[in-house]
Amino acid sequence: MTELRIAFTLNGKRREHRVAAHRTLLDVLRDDLGAVEVKEGCGEGVCGTCTVLLDGEPVSSCLVLAGRVDGREIVTLRGLSDGEALHPLQAAFVEHGAAQCGFCTPGMILTAYAFLRDNPQAGRAEIRRAIAGNLCRCTGYTKIVDAIAACAKRAAPRG
Amino acid sequence: MPAVPFEYAAPATLTEALELLSTRGEDAKPLAGGQSLVPMLTLRLARPAIVVDLDRLRELRTVRRDNGMLEIGALVRHGAIERGEGALGACPLLQEAAPLIGNVRVRALGTIGGSVAHADPAAEFPAVVRALDGTVVAQSARGRREIAAADFFVGILTTALQPGELVVGILLPVPGARTGSAIEEFSRRVGDFAIAAAAAVVELDAAGRVARARVAMAGVGPVPQRLTRVEEALTGETPTGDTIRKALAARPLEIEPDGDVHASAAYRRHLAGVLAARALDRAAARAAGSVGP
């Protein structure tokens, strides 16, 4: 067994950590660092509940070995807002009733965040494709798409 | 479930990585994007004594276009191929296949070398490499060799790689004039593994007849399978919906589909014919419309 010393940025804060090399980023975030906003679902990279941003890109934290994040930047849902005001996507999820049990919500919002950052004018069909890898077992997706589309529209130029 | 504890090394150079793979032999497992290997570790289907993480090997992330060939480093990610970054745009079939792979998170980390070395029978890139008559470049501490795609895929999750050998790159010919390609896939939901997929490449002569057609299938046999009898039957024909379907129907397709919970063998066989026809239709239309160099 190899033990690693890793240093990375979590939601803007530098973290130094000792970790056994066979553990995943998901385990480190939840069990060691208390980042319980990252949810463990399937553990196989299919459901999207453990999504985090790794250097800005959505990844399954259950499929990233901890050693891989040395020197990298991790953002979880908690990192999207400043702890006071909601991020516009979070506010839109509340407004549109896009969360029921809420288990998929952190991953869903992070995926939507990265997608809208790169495709600010996206339409509903593109949004549906973008979140296809994030499973929700409650809502039927309509309200989730409504919430994300509302943010896309807000970002669009008026005129 | 956590993986069974293993030793971990993240070498900084390819030479070091190959040395480790050579000395540790079958005890070692190279880690590329991790989108197949990490679940196998946490499900404890794979229990290597040591994981050799390739993430630091920048030399395997390069893409070169040279003499009509595209050499893609093994660690080039699906997302970069999907976006057609740099010279990657020179291979439209690969770019069309990339968004069909898994989900956005898989494509952010998954690599072409990893996909080819993993050799899942339903995976897109092995079929694309087979359709393009590509070459897999393998390297070990003893040297480097090139393996034709036709010889590389041996069985389910099994390749011609020897212990200690690593896929370091993929060589694909850049399509020439009057050449078109297309991939068609059917899966139950976006991001699922393909129940069947067909990758087609059609080259036309100056008169608009098929100079060469290639079709490779995924999901309907242990390895990506070329439909050589269909390819032969189409050669010299003007590609129309009719000639394409006649060529496909003339003799049984050279595939060995299995039935499982997702689809019966008979359904997969039917689907293979439908998808191959659609892929050939689109490839031929693109070939007719391509001006080329």
Distances (CA, A) of B28 to A96, B6, B164, B171: 50, 10, 9, 26
| CATH number of the domain bearing residue B119 | 3.30.465.10
| Angle, CA A31 vertex, CA A29 and CA A34 arms, to 5° | 65
User: Do residues B123 and B132 make contact, with C-beta atoms less than 8 angstroms apart?
Assistant: no
Distance of CA B246 to the CA centre of its chain: 27
The pLDDT value given to residue A32: 97
Confidence of residue B291 (pLDDT cuts 50, 70, 90): low
Which has the closest alpha carbon to A76: A19, A126, A114, A118?
A114
The amino acid present at A122, given as its one-letter code, is: A
Distance of CA B172 to the CA centre of its chain: 11
Q: Over 60: is that where the pLDDT of B45 sits?
A: yes
Q: Is A3 on the interface with B (CB under 8 A)?
A: no
Could you tell me if B135 and B102 lie in one domain? yes
Q: Is B106 on the interface with A (CB under 8 A)?
A: yes
Could you tell me if B129 and B92 lie in one domain? yes
| Angle, CA B78 vertex, CA B72 and CA B80 arms, to 5° | 70
Average pLDDT of the residues in B86-93: 95
Sign of CA dihedral B25, B31, B36, B41: positive
Say how far apart CA A43 and CA A111 lie, in whole Å: 17
**Residues A100-143: tens digit of each pLDDT:** 999 999 999 999 999 999 999 999 999 999 999 999 999 999 99
The pLDDT value given to residue A83: 81
Enumerate residues 6+ apart whose C-beta is below 8 A from B37: B29, B31, B46, B114, B118
Could you tell me if B161 and B249 lie in one domain? no
Q: Is B45 on the interface with A (CB under 8 A)?
A: no
Could you tell me if B207 and B163 lie in one domain? no
Please give the structure tokens belonging to residue B78: 């699906």
Could you tell me if B192 and B269 lie in one domain? yes
Q: Over 90: is that where the pLDDT of A156 sits?
A: no
Residues in chain A within 8 Å Cβ distance of B46: none
Range of the domain at B48: 7-53
Say how far apart CA B283 and CA B131 lie, in whole Å: 12
Q: Over 70: is that where the pLDDT of A155 sits?
A: no
The answer as to whether B273 is a domain residue is: yes
Is the CB of A65 less than 8 angstroms away from the CB of B2? no
Residues in chain A within 8 Å Cβ distance of B2: 22-24, 27
Please give the structure tokens belonging to residue B77: 């990610």
Length of chain B: 293
The answer as to whether B293 is a domain residue is: no
Mutate to test the interface with A, among B103, B188, B189, B190 (most CBs of A within 10 A): B103
Domain boundary among B173, B195, B227: B173
Is the CB of A57 less than 8 angstroms away from the CB of B108? yes
- ipTM value, please give it: 0.94
Residues in chain A within 8 Å Cβ distance of B105: 45, 48, 51, 58-60, 63, 133
For residue B189, give the chain A residue with the closest CA: A132
Q: Is B191 on the interface with A (CB under 8 A)?
A: yes
Residues in chain A within 8 Å Cβ distance of B42: 24, 43-44, 62
The pLDDT value given to residue A86: 95
Please give the structure tokens belonging to residue B229: 């009898």
| Angle, CA A130 vertex, CA A125 and CA A136 arms, to 5° | 100
Is the CB of B105 less than 8 angstroms away from the CB of A1? no
- Helix, strand or coil, per DSSP, at residue A158: coil
Confidence of residue B259 (pLDDT cuts 50, 70, 90): very high
Is the CB of B5 less than 8 angstroms away from the CB of A22? yes
Strand pairing partners for B215?
B200
Please give the structure tokens belonging to residue A112: 């939507």
Q: Is A2 on the interface with B (CB under 8 A)?
A: yes
The answer as to whether B37 is a domain residue is: yes
The pLDDT value given to residue B190: 86
> Which DSSP helix (H) or strand (E) runs through B69?
strand B69-73
- For A27, which of B2, B7, B35 is closest by C-beta distance? B2
> Which DSSP helix (H) or strand (E) runs through B182?
strand B179-186
Q: Is B192 on the interface with A (CB under 8 A)?
A: no
| Angle, CA B38 vertex, CA B32 and CA B43 arms, to 5° | 155
DSSP summary character for residue B77: B
Instruction: Count Cβ–Cβ pairs < 8 Å, chain A vs chain B.
Output: 96
Q: What percent of chain B has pLDDT over 70?
A: 99
Residues in chain A within 8 Å Cβ distance of B40: none
Beta strands B210-218 and B196-204, pairing class: antiparallel
The pLDDT value given to residue A154: 60
**Residues B6-36: tens digit of each pLDDT:** 999 999 999 999 999 999 999 999 999 999 9
Q: Is A107 on the interface with B (CB under 8 A)?
A: no
Q: Is A126 on the interface with B (CB under 8 A)?
A: no
**Residues B192-201: tens digit of each pLDDT:** 889 999 999 9
Could you tell me if B138 and B64 lie in one domain? yes
User: Do residues B284 and B272 make contact, with C-beta atoms less than 8 angstroms apart?
Assistant: no
For residue A59, give the chain B residue with the closest CA: B105
The answer as to whether B225 is a domain residue is: yes
Domain boundary among B151, B173, B195: B173
Q: Is B38 on the interface with A (CB under 8 A)?
A: yes
Could you tell me if B157 and B241 lie in one domain? no
The answer as to whether B193 is a domain residue is: yes
Enumerate residues 6+ apart whose C-beta is below 8 A from A123: A149, A152
Domain boundary among B53, B72, B91: B53
Confidence of residue A159 (pLDDT cuts 50, 70, 90): very low
Interface list for A 43-72 with B (CB within 8 A): 43-46, 48, 51, 54, 57-60, 62-65, 67-68
Is the CB of B39 less than 8 angstroms away from the CB of A48? no
Is the CB of A21 less than 8 angstroms away from the CB of B8? yes
Could you tell me if B22 and B43 lie in one domain? yes
> Which DSSP helix (H) or strand (E) runs through B289?
helix B265-289
Beta strands B69-73 and B50-53, pairing class: unpaired
Average pLDDT of the residues in B47-60: 97
Residue B82 has φ and ψ, to the nearest 5°, of -60, -40
Which has the closest alpha carbon to B147: B159, B157, B132?
B159
| Angle, CA B115 vertex, CA B127 and CA B259 arms, to 5° | 60
Could you tell me if B275 and B247 lie in one domain? yes
The pLDDT value given to residue B191: 85
| CATH number of the domain bearing residue B280 | 3.30.390.50
DSSP summary character for residue A67: G
The answer as to whether B40 is a domain residue is: yes
Say how far apart CA B250 and CA B29 lie, in whole Å: 45
Enumerate residues 6+ apart whose C-beta is below 8 A from B73: B59, B60, B61, B62, B63, B113, B168, B169
Could you tell me if B92 and B126 lie in one domain? yes
Could you tell me if B282 and B193 lie in one domain? yes
Q: Is B3 on the interface with A (CB under 8 A)?
A: yes
Say how far apart CA B72 and CA B78 lie, in whole Å: 11
Burial (0-12, 13-18, 19+ Cβ within 10 Å), B270: middle
Confidence of residue A146 (pLDDT cuts 50, 70, 90): very high
| CATH number of the domain bearing residue B31 | 3.30.43.10
Q: Over 90: is that where the pLDDT of B55 sits?
A: yes
Could you tell me if B159 and B187 lie in one domain? no
Confidence of residue B2 (pLDDT cuts 50, 70, 90): confident
For residue A4, give the chain B residue with the closest CA: B8
**Residues B124-179: tens digit of each pLDDT:** 999 999 999 999 999 999 999 999 999 999 999 999 999 999 999 999 999 999 99
When divided into structural domains, chain B yields a total of: 3
Residue B147 has φ and ψ, to the nearest 5°, of -120, 120
Cβ-based neighbour number of residue B90 at 10 Å: 18
The pLDDT value given to residue B192: 87
Q: Over 70: is that where the pLDDT of B248 sits?
A: yes
Average pLDDT of the residues in A47-60: 98
The answer as to whether B246 is a domain residue is: yes
Radius of gyration of chain A (CA): 16
The answer as to whether B27 is a domain residue is: yes
